[in-house]
Structure 1
Amino acid sequence: MVLRQLDEKAVAKLVAEATAAPSMHNAQPWRFRFVSAEGLLLLGADPERAMPRSDPGNRALHIGCGAALFNLRVAAAHADLVAETTLLPEPQDPLLLAAVQLADPVGNGRDDELARLHPAIRQRHTSRHPFAEQDIPEETRAALRDAAAREEADLLFPGPWHAETLLDLIRDAECRDVMDPATTEDLVRWTRLGPEADIAVDGVPEYAFGPRKRDGRAPVRDFAGRRAVADRGTLTFEHVPHLALLSTRGDGPADWLRAGQALERVLLEATLADLATSLTSHALENRDLRLLARDPGTGAGQVQMVLRIGYGPRGPSTPRRPVQDVLDFM
């Protein structure tokens, strides 16, 4: 391994691209530290951005940080660097999620498959808009399944019966929220309305809520709830949404980090295929419902995320925290 001396500007650029990743309610629950003498970039969890109501076990927090880790690997490959990654390097420090050794490529050189995904980092946005009632070609589905497999995860496109079950579970989760308003505490904390939306550096601003749903069966969380949002509009969404389930074999912190990396790889691959994407973890936030989301045929795997994929607008970009707020140098 040949270490490359990286200045603060180069490291900051890598971290800026890492933090373009999605996270639950755009909470951005990550911290980075760069150990200059070792060329080592450390990724940690920010517990102040955890969601005790929606994510009591920090599963979604790990998935978001895993997505940021994958973006970092892509950005490193684009910069002609090798990013040797170790998950959970210090068992006694559960907040330290990954250590990334940055070095010059030797032997086979950089990972061109990762570098190929780099343009999609800034193009990918969560879309809460209607998608077209249009099939996704099988070769595209195969490419997305392969993207997940490269990160030790499975991507399943459920059949009609299974998809119907998923939609029922999501509706069940929505009804539970209505019955217990306390479950919306995290959502209220991380949504930005009115003038706050224009200056926010995190959370979901009102301009990214998308229109209200008049009709259709697409699973899109309404971030406004009963709160008024000016000029939002109402539209019909797709009646046959294209869903995909991302699963891992295990269900611990390392598996969640792998799920996050697989999720972001799938999302970037979908973006390059001109697909729009959105995520729903609504039914997965309740353990009882999450178990029911499994493939009814095999019952195997741990469902980590439900994706909605299709052809439509990609949605607006959402704010990101300044790099200096999430990166420290040592």
Structure 2
Amino acid sequence: MPSRLDDGTVVALVADATAAPSMHNAQPWRFRRATGERRLLLYADLERAMPHSDPDDRALHIGCGAALFNLRVAAAHAGLVPETRLLPEPGDPLLLAAVDLAGPDPAAGRLPDDELARLHPAIRERHTSRHPFADKEVPEELRATLREAAVREGAELLFPGAWHAETVLDLVRDAENRDVMNPEVNEDVVRWTRLGPEADTAVDGVPEYAFGPRERDGKAPQRDFAGRRKVADRGTTSFEHTPHLALLSTPGDRPADWLRAGQAMERVLLEATLADLATSLTSHALEDRELRLLARDPGAGTGLVQMVLRIGYGPRGPVTPRRPVTDVLDIV
């Protein structure tokens, strides 16, 4: 096994990691590597936190967990064996994960994870779609694959029945109405949306070309990032009346659970992308813990819903901007 891991490989790994989704595309992560070491550290970037809509940094941890999963996939694709520890230093809550990038050692039974490596092409193909999806069922065999993807990362993916799905949609609408009455929450949206010429040069946030059309009718559970602001050349169209939802939940509701939720979410999204499914995400109705309790499976009544996924057949969304690796990676 080589004793050194070259900087070029590390830069490539971090570039793949940062293709992950995050709330309002704030990209709330930083990576650090000591020169000559085979360890990468993942830190939370609190300058990109959202104090009004994410006061507990739950969504921040989920986004960082998604980046961590992409890092693991990229490492496996590069022939490495990532060994991950979550929250390795209790005294440093900003240090979210330590990843040792070991080389393969067949004699010790340490080999790259082919199942992780298989997902690598989807990292650059996965984009959030805020467009209408077709009224076409996702086959049960594919649903089973997505459920298994969540289980592999310590989470559960539930495809709710009609009554449960309608309850979740009601929670989303309630959250939208709550936001209208709370200008502080809207501050986070305004901060992280990019309109006009800024959309063409942004390296973070949600650019106006990714807002998707306004909803004329239908029940797609997604946030309207434009709000009452005018966006040029933005049309209005009908969305599906019965969106296909999936609820990602974890047994607990602590930072480690949120990091696992982020990894599970990204594994599900990459599997869906490989299966030519379009996806979008919303945690709009989950920004309050009490609402997360209401969103869970009414039959089992266990687990905490961490993300609502909309999955179906439709156009993929556009590529959204990413910060340069030099802005998020420190080699010291």
TM interval, short-chain normalised: over 0.9
1:4, distance to aligned residue in structure 2 (A): 4.5
- 1:275 correspondence with 2:277: yes
C-alpha separation in 2, matches of 1:327 and 1:225:
34
Q: After superposition, where does 1:1-330 map in structure 2 within 5 Å?
A: 2=1, 4-107=3-106, 108=109, 109-330=111-332
AA paired with 2:207? Answer: P
Q: 154-163 or 290-299, which moves further after superposition? A: 290-299
Structure 2: gaps (5+ residues):
none
> 2:218 and 2:3 mapped to 1: Cα distance?
53
* 1:288 positional shift: 2.2
* In structure 2, distance between residues paired with 1:118 and 1:183: 35
CA displacement at 1:60 relative to structure 2:
0.3
The answer to whether the Cα contact below 8 Å between 2:4 and 2:37 also exists between their aligned partners in 1 is no
Letter in 2 for 1:72: L
Residue pair 2:250, 2:257 contacting (<8 A) in 1 also: yes
Contact 1:4 1:102 in 2 (8 A): no
Distance 1:301 1:287 in 2: 12
**Distance in 1, Cα, partners of 2:289 & 2:4:** 46
Whether contact under 8 Å (2:248, 2:265) holds in the other structure is yes
Task: Output the aligned Cα RMSD.
Answer: 0.8
**Structure 1 segments (4+ residues) deviating >3 Å:** none
Matches of 1:202 and 1:23, distance apart in 2:
10
Equivalent pairs, count? 329
Distance of 1:34 and 1:3 partners within structure 2: 17
Can you list the C-alpha shifts for 1:79-123, whole angstroms capped at 9, x where unaligned? 000110010010000000000001111234210000000000000
Against the structure 1 CA distance between its residues 4 and 67, is the aligned structure 2 distance closer, same or farther, given a 3 Å change threshold? farther
CA displacement, residues 245-279 of structure 1 (integer Å, 9 cap, x when unaligned): 00001111111000000000000000000000000
* SS at 2:98 equivalent: strand
In the alignment, the residues of structure 1 paired with residue 150 and residue 68 of structure 2 have an alpha-carbon distance, to the nearest angstrom, of 15
Shift of the alpha carbon at 1:7? Answer: 1.6
**Could you state the TM-score of these two structures normalised by the residue count of structure 2?**
0.98
Letter of the 2:70 counterpart: N
Asked whether the equivalents of residues 65 and 262 of structure 2 are also in contact (C-alpha less than 8 Å), the reply is yes
Which consecutive unaligned segments of at least 5 residues does structure 1 have? none
Q: Matched residue of 2:36: which SS?
A: helix
SS in 2 for 1:123: coil
Superposed CA offset, 1:186-219 (max 9, x none): 0110000000000000000000000000111111
**Quick one: which amino acid aligns to residue 141 of structure 2?**
E
Is contact 2:5–2:36 with CA below 8 Å preserved after alignment?
no
> 1-side partners of 2:267 and 2:222: how far apart?
22
Query: What is the TM-score when the length of structure 1 is the normalising length?
Result: 0.98
Distance 2:102 2:285 in 1: 41
Question: How far apart in 2 are the matches of 1:287 and 1:63?
Answer: 15
Distance 1:301 1:36 in 2: 41
